[in-house]
Structure 1
């Protein structure tokens, strides 16, 4: 695929419409809708319980039942926060326990937002989840209907649920299959939008309030600064070890060989030539190791070929088939390009070593003042940054630039690494 891709008429990048990426996005949308349907059913049940508590208050049972309602609302909200955090930026819940009763919940800032989310998700979220799941189930049922419809002949209405005509011959059964294709197309077009719309109230209402978000941001910046200093110190130690263990030893060997050659010229001139040759080889090795250290600081290929060319070179040397799609108008800061380069290099190394993947995709986009990097593979999944997979080092590099990293790697795959880096001037 070319390094630069034009925008499509739909307003996205053409690389986003790669068949493999599109199919994966549809499966993700279905998984989001089904997961949201689960929490929406819980939210609907909580609404019913709240209504029961309200009615119970009229006959004196309110004091007995009221304390359970805030805990139920908080528990369901936490399940939704965990679900949304698996598919995007982490949503942190309140640090304080839920209020004592419904009235205190409505008066509390976090509790009131959770109650509003409960109502929206238990109604609109439930409807969207049912619509998405119904589209998929009925599409599969209708498309396969010509294979098994004759088993329904003894019934009065041999047709699937959404089909409004009776099937009595093969042509009518084929029409059901066509109707199923229409339902499938509707999900392809509207499924991802339904998933985003279902998740929007949770991301809007379950996120921390402004003051909490500001304090979290300050804590995050402090942690980022500490991580950046730690990453810088680690990098300095790596460079020091490389120079001390490699280049310095080579240069010491050159010095020793030159001294021996100088003494040999006075005693045995014929042996001096061999020592000078060995000294030259040691000097050449020292230069090669020095170049390797320099490339580890800032790869010259970035300056020579740009980000697209540098990533294409990494893909060509990768242990798995790798497709690179870069659309970055202009140049970003050298540190941002270097971080992107090292993230891709480390990720491709991990894929080749651990994922058992056959194919990987690297997609880079610049949206305004942010550089978006997405690395996907079709391997076995199960990547965990706490098990020495190299993800921790990638995260430190990214957070040193105040960037964000999200890893999605369910058992069985696929694995997706999403990185966002600020690249404004």
Structure 2
């Protein structure tokens, strides 16, 4: 790891520790409010009003803890039950829905131990670097100005200026240790939070079923839209040309004896029409499954796609073999759509495509040097990529700050490969 990386990570973790202290303190009044509303729950109607409100605050605090844990590499999914059938509930049913959700009680159980652990680790991740910084910056200055008796680290008290300046290496060492250890302290805090804030096994199964239901609906909608597109392309393209071809050949049959020259002219038109119809069919097939994808695999197909686009595109691919055909097709079209968005909207001069396999994931990244500011809610392109990937349990993330660069990262689960050529890389 580069020295700048661990220093940056350490400073970020120290800032996280500074934030953890007031957040930990906030847990305590939330716990008191939770206990109070549970006690007041025996009062008719009062509990139905106060308990859901306090639960909303507790869930907001727990969700913030989950988000912060994700920032240090410990993702925690939200375990809450969805509303029944997505409907609005009356006060009593809503109160009962929150009361019977196990995640509600796990949030309450986390408040006090989460406060203790969060405060202790936050204070420790903050105190050690501050003490090291004190030795580097403050102690020599104080002693030099003659502030009197003082000590630091292993030297108590300072008897000479030389003793005072011995705090410099001690402070530098303590500061380095504090910055190096702070990320591990933040991660330990996140791992502890995950013990109570993460979904249980049953909750994970419910979330999985809900996710698969949405994914299946999206896949069915996408398949229906694709079938409608194919039907429309056949009806408006190849079918029209074939009908025209049949009529032209019929006229040529009638004229073959009375006007041989005219018949030959009609047959020439028929040949041109048949070539155009064949081109339409090839274009249609290419949109379903490009031949180059079947022949050369994902890396070769992406390279061919990049060469055909009006922009310098660097392609780096490192795959151990051929993917399963459905996964390979989904990956290709996801990259193609991301590149199409780059061409249409980014005002970029260059783009880069990286494809690699890590563990059981196929990771694809499309980046450009354009203006940035891409928004998945602003059009159908990025949403289409999300739906295509979701059908295979894949995900898409977007980084596109104003001014650029834009980076689209797509991940597809895939564990199986068939033998193929060696990995390749280069510029298209």
State the TM-score bracket (shorter-chain normalisation).
0.5 to 0.7
Instruction: Normalising by structure 1, report the TM-score.
Output: 0.66
Matched, 1:92 2:78: yes
**8 Å contact kept, 2:79–2:200:** no
Rounded Cα–Cα distance in structure 2 between residues aligned with 1:232 and 1:392: 15
Rounded Cα–Cα distance in structure 2 between residues aligned with 1:266 and 1:316: 51
Aligned to 2:107: 110
Aligned to 2:62: 77
Once the two structures are superposed, what CA deviation does each residue of 1:152-172 show, in whole Å capped at 9, x if it has no partner? 9xx959xxxxxxxxxxxxxxx
Instruction: Normalising by structure 2, report the TM-score.
Output: 0.66
Could you say what secondary structure the match of 2:323 adopts?
coil
**8 Å contact kept, 2:394–2:413:** yes
Aligned to 1:124: 121
Rounded Cα–Cα distance in structure 2 between residues aligned with 1:121 and 1:376: 37
- Aligned pair partner of 2:23 in 30, 43, 60: 43
The 1:338–1:195 alpha-carbon spacing in structure 2 relative to 1, beyond 3 Å, is farther
Aligned to 1:245: 236
The 1:298–1:120 alpha-carbon spacing in structure 2 relative to 1, beyond 3 Å, is farther
Could you say what secondary structure the match of 2:415 adopts?
coil
**8 Å contact kept, 2:399–2:406:** yes
Rounded Cα–Cα distance in structure 2 between residues aligned with 1:376 and 1:132: 39
Once the two structures are superposed, what CA deviation does each residue of 1:255-309 show, in whole Å capped at 9, x if it has no partner? 1111122222233222222222211111111111101111111111122222111
Supply the RMSD in Å over aligned alpha carbons: 5.0
Gap regions ≥5 residues in structure 2:
34-50, 82-93, 147-167, 417-428
- Aligned pair partner of 1:225 in 187, 206, 216: 216
Cα deviation for residue 353 of structure 1 reads 1.4
- Aligned pair partner of 1:267 in 250, 258, 265: 258
Matches within 5 A, 1:57-68: none
Matches within 5 A, 1:62-211: 73-82=58-67, 91-92=77-78, 94-95=80-81, 108-113=105-110, 115-124=112-121, 200-201=191-192, 205-211=196-202
Matched, 1:392 2:379: no
Equivalences, count: 361
The 1:369–1:256 alpha-carbon spacing in structure 2 relative to 1, beyond 3 Å, is same
Cα deviation for residue 33 of structure 1 reads 4.8
Cα deviation for residue 393 of structure 1 reads 1.2
**8 Å contact kept, 1:117–1:205:** no
- Aligned pair partner of 2:365 in 374, 391, 394: 374
Instruction: Indicate the structure (1 or 2) with the bigger Cα radius of gyration.
Output: 2
Rounded Cα–Cα distance in structure 2 between residues aligned with 1:405 and 1:395: 6
